[in-house]
Amino acid sequence: MLSWVLNPLGISLPSKTPLGAKFDNRRSCMLSAAQQAHTVPQSSAPTFASLGRPCLIRKEDYADIVKAWPSERSTLPFVYHDAYNVTIFGIEKLHPFDSCKFSKVVDKLNAQGLLSYQTHEEKKQKHTPQMAEPLMATHEALLNVHTPKYIDAIHSSNMKVVQVTELPPLLILPPPLLQRQVVNPMKYHAAGTMLAAALAIERGWSINLGGGMHHAYANDGMGWCMFDDVHLAIRRLRTATNGAVKKVLYIDLDVHQGNGVSRDKLAFKDEDLIIVDVFNGGIFPKDEDAWPAINISVPLRSGARDAEYLKAVRQALEDATQWSQPDLVFYNAGTDVLEGDPLGRFNISPSAIQQRDQMVFEHALHVAKAPIVMTLSGGYAPQSSDVISASLSNLIRLFQLNAMPGSSA
Ligand SMILES: [Zn+2]
């Protein structure tokens, strides 16, 4: 008897595949039972879940990144660890970066009943984690992008950490404490992005509630960005899929030019990484050496407002269609474009940021027809966590991102 499966274009196709598995024509990929729960056609509208290709991921390649691979039936592809939040006895407050915004975002989503992340104690009791939790990235994992010289400097020199974080008072901390309170959190962020990228291929979407350290590159870090989690995630993903995931459309809408990602694209001669960057051209880092790597570069003026900004983002996404069929959309969703941000110097409203994020997700689903992974990146104003959680709430509601496989939510 014929069964039916949706292809990525939304057309119902007959499938004779036995054993309860179904076949994705475009990707030559078997869909899991949990995936089928999403792909059995209840309506013709495409969903991110229908873009997932679980068979492409060699999960053992992530054994150093996650303790056990997140179950499709009990864990949503939101990635987070409490260790993302940096606290250094108040010293962290000397930098405008709200280094605990990540936990605030989780708390706000939790308060709305959209996620139910449990503390370690609660997890032990209930055994029902609903977010994926990364391990800390190892030295070896970081060396997939970074030079041994840089990794050694990060681990042996307070000065290097000060340079990256722009926090001179850190110089006086005992090195072991500095490693534990500052460097280790960055390693969790990096591992989180690596895990999120893999989950995006498996499930069709994933959001790391951290990450997006787009100023870091192989030889160095800057602007509170220690590790190039973007290239770490993409390079591992290409290996873990035997090259099935190749072309990546990277959309960087943080207010700062993503110079680290661009520099590493040049260093690795990565022509399959398509970079779209809309940023404030009048602020840090003004890295001209990185510009040749950007496929669509849109530097805007300080003071840009909603209409001008959204028009620029819309045009950049349209222009990106000249690179057809990416295997993954990587969205670096910095919220430092927000009005009042102490570093960004744009005047973008919370509502426009919500529209922007929605626009990128719609582009991935309907135009690129590719899985999407999102990182939070910069966002320095005190209200950043409110803006992020409001936008995530909108995405969750619009794209049914908190629906567990097989549920009708
Ligand atoms: Zn930024």
Asked, as a colleague might, if the bond just before 285 is cis with ω within 30 of 0, I would say yes
Helix, strand, or coil (residue 325): coil
* 158-164: long-range pairs with CB below 8 Å, 24+: 161/226, 163/221, 163/222, 164/216, 164/220, 164/221, 164/222, 164/223, 164/224, 164/225, 164/226
* pLDDT for the residue 150: 98
State pLDDT tens for residues 343-356.
Answer: 999 999 999 999 99
Tokens of 300: 């805007």
95 is annotated as an active-site residue: no
Of 323, 276, 289, the closest CA to residue 219 belongs to 289
d(CA 281, CA 299): 4
* pLDDT for the residue 170: 87
Does the CA dihedral 146-149-152-153 come out positive or negative?
negative
In the chain, where are the structural domains located?
3-48, 54-399
Contacts of 85 (CB under 8 A, 6+ apart): 99, 100, 102, 103, 185
What distance in angstroms lies between residue 25's CA and the mean position of ligand 1's atoms?
A: 39
What distance in angstroms lies between residue 15's CA and the mean position of ligand 1's atoms?
A: 47
Residues 221, 227 contacting (CB under 8 angstroms): yes
What distance in angstroms lies between residue 263's CA and the mean position of ligand 1's atoms?
A: 16
* pLDDT for the residue 116: 64
Point out the catalytic residue in the list 215, 231, 256, 363: 215
Residues 365, 323 contacting (CB under 8 angstroms): no
d(CA 292, CA 149): 26
State pLDDT tens for residues 47-82.
Answer: 999 999 999 999 999 999 999 999 988 889 999 999
* pLDDT for the residue 7: 29
With a cut of 50, list the residues of the chain below it in pLDDT. Answer: 1-28, 30, 32-42, 123-124, 126-128, 408-409
* pLDDT for the residue 95: 63
> Phi/psi class of residue 166: alpha, beta or left (left: φ > 0; alpha: ψ in -120 to 50)?
left
d(CA 20, CA 3): 10
| Phi and psi, residue 323, nearest 5° | -100, 95
Q: Which fold has domain 54-399?
A: Arginase; Chain A (3.40.800)
What distance in angstroms lies between residue 13's CA and the mean position of ligand 1's atoms?
A: 44
Reported residue count of the chain is 409
DSSP assigned state of 268: T
Tokens of 250: 């990277």
* pLDDT for the residue 15: 33
